[in-house]
Amino acid sequence: MDQAQNYEMFLDDLYTKEDLVKLLDDIKIASELSFKTDSTEGKNLPKEFLAKLLELEKKGLFPSTVSQQARFFQELENFIRKQKTVRIVFAFEPSKSFLKRVRDYLSEGKSERIFLDLTVDPEIMGGFVLDNQGVYHDYSLVGELNKAVEDKNFLKSLMVKVK
Amino acid sequence: MKTFKEYLEANHEIGYIQSIVHSIVYVSGLPGARPRELVVAEGGQRGIVQALLPDLVEVLMLDTHDLRNNLSVARTTESFTIPVSEGILGRVVDPFGSPLDGAGPVIGEKELRSVDPPAPPISSRVKINRSMETGVQIVDLLVPLGYGQRELVIGDKKTGKTIFLLQTIVSQAAKGVVCVYVSIGKRQNDIKAVQQYLWGWSGATVNCVIVAANSAEAASKIWLAPFSGFAIAEYFRDKGRDVLIVFDDLVNHAKFYREISLLSKRTPGRSSYPGDIFNLHASMLERAGQIKTDKGVVSITALPVAESFEGDITGYIQTNLMSITDGHIFFDIERFRSGARPAINHALSVSRVGNQTKTSLDKELAQKLREALARYEKDKAIARFGVDLPEQTKEEIDLGEKIELLLNQDTETLIPRFLSLTIMGLLLGGFWKQKKVSQVKVDLIKLLQKFKEGKFSHLPEKIAAVKTLDELTEVVKTEQERVKEALYE
């Protein structure tokens, strides 16, 4: 089995860059635990993370020696750091289900996972601003309004509506 | 220039500063960025793309204020441009084209000129065939220059390079040639002195522009200065005017480019300069030359300066520039110490294309002078032993001394071609044969004074018709009485 596939399972249910950062913290704690025998720090690790490690161990995919474990965590960390992020600005704090929908929409037709680097900026009023690996798209309400105002026929259409 | 937001909306490409090393920043994103492209940061700071790395774009920031990590950067899909207008003449500007002289904004209809356009193609180039007078006798007679030539001015610090360049500028500005003086990393005091000298001459204020990036500026701004100078020169060339551009100096420019390259961790080569230093200067100086346009034949003459150390002209940048240019004028520290002004060593100076612009008379005279000076140098070496010299040798030494004396010239005097030919015609015709060198010196001072008073206004026409050296001595002989009258009565 390809080691990358083992690492992939740690990314399930993660959608944002913040989630990745949290996962990196967990990996750091877990790798430090490998060298300790009577530590209580393991309690700080989330259950989901521990469950995934347990699952790997059951399958015989989690290394048994300390040095191999250290290498496993190091490689896992490198794998996570390589994940691609997309900067996205919302006008509001989105729910997890909404983020999942956005993430799924953006990664449609792509072989690799995408994680959202989220920023909340109420000034954009609505919609979102996207920066995908340097390619910038403004789908915000403010952007749309600006474009409409720049349109020569905008004032005319307003006048018609007033009439 | 558009704003950051406008560029972002137009090009849909954004990046973020990941690290800052002085004026170099590394930017993530910007997937379509191209080398030499202008980018704009969110605070309006401008930068030029230097290199494309696997995940980052290396940008040389021209504005280094308020840079911080994670600052957004947008592509412009344009190259860096500076605004140029006719109103820039008579002004001192920085490499961005903004005034530095406190005389208000540069007026006139501005045209945005790229600082790094391609050099004129071979098909539009024309052979250098027009002589360019510097007003400095030794150069005009022995190392002649032509319009469109690139001539290196090389020599030690404080040997009179800048003053020679300023004399050339004044001489050309009086003829209506646009002159661009680019000061690269010099002290503000030096720039002030240049400005004071130039603005002291009537023609200079209307035809000269000084582009200055002083030593206190950011390295990126100093690096930009010669490119901006060229952009200004090209603006006037495209308007149909001949242009003279002076770079003072390119060794300094290379040092600042080395600083930038070392900061951006490029592999250092000889003397720690980056590998592309030759290309940088060669591609820039390639923009000079004489070309034909729809407005006729126009030229950009480039006079780059290279400072040497203790007369050593074999330095890396110095030899690079020698091979790029069409010759060099060497300011010899030894000659300077022995009192020669300008301290040009004509024997070590070369003008590869200047001779082809000269008439047969000029060539004949130059040959005669060179031979006389060579004999003089040889005889001087023999005379050092204190032996009794034959009459002929004494005569040769006397002539050589007088030629050297006549080629000396102070900083406030410009000698036009006709006067130069007249002086040499008088010398070779035996006018000063019976006189001592000290008397010749007094005569020369008087002669120049009378010339300034307009005493020899009929001479230019007469001299212009002369074709050979014999004819010159004959014509000058007929003038001897008038000269005597002017000098001694």
Cα(B266)–Cα(A68) distance, integer angstroms: 38
Answer yes or no: are the C-beta atoms of B245 and B165 closer than 8 Å: no
Indicate the residue type of A154: F
The structure tokens 């308020």 sit at B66
Answer yes or no: are the C-beta atoms of B176 and B353 closer than 8 Å: no
Q: Which of residues 98-137 of B touch A (CB under 8 A)?
A: none
Q: Do B12 and A135 touch (CB under 8 A)?
A: yes
Closest partner residue to A138 (CB to CB) among B9, B11, B31 is: B9
Confidence of residue A156 (pLDDT cuts 50, 70, 90): confident
Q: Do B28 and A134 touch (CB under 8 A)?
A: yes
What sign results for the dihedral spanned by CA atoms B249, B252, B258, B263?
A: negative
Cα(B218)–Cα(B185) distance, integer angstroms: 10
Query: For residue A162, is pLDDT > 70?
Result: no
Cβ-count burial of B385 within 10 angstroms (0-12 exposed, 13-18 middle, 19+ buried)? exposed
Q: Do B12 and A131 touch (CB under 8 A)?
A: no
What percent of chain B clears pLDDT 90, i.e. is strictly above it?
A: 85
From chain B, the residues in CB contact with A134 under 8 A are 13-15, 28-32
Answer yes or no: are the C-beta atoms of B348 and B373 closer than 8 Å: no
Residue B455's pLDDT is 84
Cα(B187)–Cα(A147) distance, integer angstroms: 49
Q: Do B13 and A136 touch (CB under 8 A)?
A: yes
Query: For residue B479, is pLDDT > 70?
Result: yes
Q: Which two tokens stand for residue B226?
A: 């010669």
B323 three-state secondary structure? helix
Mean pLDDT of B296-302: 97
- Is the minimum CB–CB distance between A81 and chain B shorter than 8 Å? no
Query: For residue A1, is pLDDT > 60?
Result: no
- Mean pLDDT check: name the lowest of A36-50, B99-113, B389-403, B447-461: A36-50
- Is the minimum CB–CB distance between A144 and chain B shorter than 8 Å? no
- Is the minimum CB–CB distance between B9 and chain A shorter than 8 Å? yes
Distance from CA of A132 to the nearest CA of B (A): 9
- Is the minimum CB–CB distance between B17 and chain A shorter than 8 Å? no
Q: Do B13 and A138 touch (CB under 8 A)?
A: no
Cis peptide before B342 (omega within 30 of 0): yes
The structure tokens 């940061």 sit at B41
Query: For residue A47, is pLDDT > 90?
Result: no
Can you name the residues that pair with B20 across neighbouring β-strands? B25
Q: Pairing state of beta strands B46-52 and B37-41?
A: antiparallel
Residue-wise pLDDT tens digits, B316-350: 999 999 999 999 999 999 999 999 999 999 999 99
Residue A32's pLDDT is 83
From chain B, the residues in CB contact with A131 under 8 A are 14, 29
B129 three-state secondary structure? coil
* Number of CB pairs, chain A paired with chain B, less than 8 A apart: 26
Q: Which residue of A has its CA nearest to B73?
A: A134
DSSP letters spanning B32-51: T--TTEEEEETTS-EEEEEE
Other C-beta atoms within 10 Å of A71: how many? Answer: 13
Closest alpha carbon to B50 in B34, B28, B62: B34
From chain A, the residues in CB contact with B74 under 8 A are 136
Residue-wise pLDDT tens digits, B385-439: 777 888 999 999 999 999 999 999 999 899 999 999 999 999 999 999 889 999 9
Query: For residue B126, is pLDDT > 90?
Result: yes
Q: Which residue of A has its CA nearest to B13?
A: A135
From chain A, the residues in CB contact with B37 under 8 A are none
Q: Do A134 and B9 touch (CB under 8 A)?
A: no
B329 three-state secondary structure? strand
Distance from CA of A133 to the nearest CA of B (A): 5
Cβ-count burial of B246 within 10 angstroms (0-12 exposed, 13-18 middle, 19+ buried)? buried
Indicate the residue type of B434: Q
**What φ, ψ does residue B441 adopt, rounded to 5°?**
-60, -45
Mean pLDDT of B20-46: 95
Confidence of residue A42 (pLDDT cuts 50, 70, 90): low
From chain A, the residues in CB contact with B56 under 8 A are none
Residue-wise pLDDT tens digits, B452-469: 888 888 888 888 899 999
Q: Do B13 and A134 touch (CB under 8 A)?
A: yes
Q: Do A134 and B8 touch (CB under 8 A)?
A: no
Answer yes or no: are the C-beta atoms of B446 and B162 closer than 8 Å: no
Closest alpha carbon to B302 in B279, B328, B333: B328
- Catalytic site positions of B: 352
Indicate the residue type of B49: V
Q: Which two tokens stand for residue B422?
A: 């007249």
Q: Which two tokens stand for residue B352?
A: 């590869």
- Is the minimum CB–CB distance between A137 and chain B shorter than 8 Å? yes
Mean pLDDT of A17-23: 93
Confidence of residue A161 (pLDDT cuts 50, 70, 90): low
Cα(B229)–Cα(B6) distance, integer angstroms: 29
Mean pLDDT of B300-306: 98
ipTM of the complex: 0.74
Distance from CA of B127 to the nearest CA of A (A): 49
Query: For residue B238, is pLDDT > 70?
Result: yes
Mean pLDDT of A11-24: 91
pTM summary value? 0.87
Mean pLDDT across chain B: 94
Closest alpha carbon to B251 in B324, B188, B196, B190: B324
- Is the minimum CB–CB distance between A131 and chain B shorter than 8 Å? yes
Q: Which two tokens stand for residue B262?
A: 């070392």
Residue B468's pLDDT is 92
Mean pLDDT of A125-152: 87
- Mean pLDDT check: name the lowest of B145-149, B310-314, B347-351: B310-314
From chain A, the residues in CB contact with B29 under 8 A are 131, 133-134
Answer yes or no: are the C-beta atoms of B349 and B373 closer than 8 Å: no
DSSP letters spanning A24-78: HHHHHHHHHHTT-SS-SGGGGS-HHHHHHHHHHHHTT-S--SHHHHHHHHHHHHH
Distance from CA of A47 to the nearest CA of B (A): 34
Residue-wise pLDDT tens digits, A98-124: 888 888 888 888 878 899 999 999 999
Indicate the residue type of B44: G
**Could you tell me which residues come within 8 angstroms of residue A112 by beta carbon, excluding any fewer than 6 positions away?**
A84
Cβ-count burial of B454 within 10 angstroms (0-12 exposed, 13-18 middle, 19+ buried)? exposed
Show the CA angle centred on residue A16, arms to residues A12 and A21, nearest 5°.
90
Query: For residue B67, is pLDDT > 90?
Result: yes
Q: Which two tokens stand for residue B274?
A: 């980056």
Cα(B423)–Cα(B407) distance, integer angstroms: 10
DSSP B309: B
Query: For residue A41, is pLDDT > 70?
Result: no
Cα(B197)–Cα(A101) distance, integer angstroms: 72
Q: Which residue of A has its CA nearest to B14?
A: A134
In this structure, which long-range contacts are made by residues A34-38, counting pairs with CB atoms below 8 Å and at least 24 apart in sequence?
A: A34/A66, A34/A69, A34/A70, A34/A73, A35/A66, A35/A70
Residue A39's pLDDT is 59
Closest alpha carbon to B256 in B183, B324, B185: B185
Q: Do A135 and B8 touch (CB under 8 A)?
A: no
Residue-wise pLDDT tens digits, B11-25: 999 999 999 999 999
Confidence of residue B100 (pLDDT cuts 50, 70, 90): very high
Query: For residue A9, is pLDDT > 90?
Result: no
Residue B397's pLDDT is 93
Answer yes or no: are the C-beta atoms of B49 and B39 closer than 8 Å: yes
DSSP letters spanning A94-108: --HHHHHHHHHHHTT
Q: Which residue of B has its CA nearest to A147?
A: B9
Residue-wise pLDDT tens digits, B70-84: 999 999 999 999 999
Query: For residue B55, is pLDDT > 70?
Result: yes
Q: Do A131 and B28 touch (CB under 8 A)?
A: no
Residue A145's pLDDT is 87
Closest alpha carbon to B72 in B95, B45, B91: B45
Cα(B357)–Cα(B132) distance, integer angstroms: 8
From chain B, the residues in CB contact with A136 under 8 A are 8, 11-14, 74
Indicate the helix (H) or strand (E) that contains B303: strand B296-308
B246 three-state secondary structure? strand
Answer yes or no: are the C-beta atoms of A24 and A80 closer than 8 Å: yes
Q: Which of residues 23-42 of A touch B (CB under 8 A)?
A: none
Indicate the residue type of B182: V
Query: For residue A40, is pLDDT > 70?
Result: no
Q: Which residue of B has its CA nearest to A86?
A: B29
Closest alpha carbon to B406 in B439, B454, B453, B381: B439
Distance from CA of B54 to the nearest CA of A (A): 13
Answer yes or no: are the C-beta atoms of A96 and A15 closer than 8 Å: yes
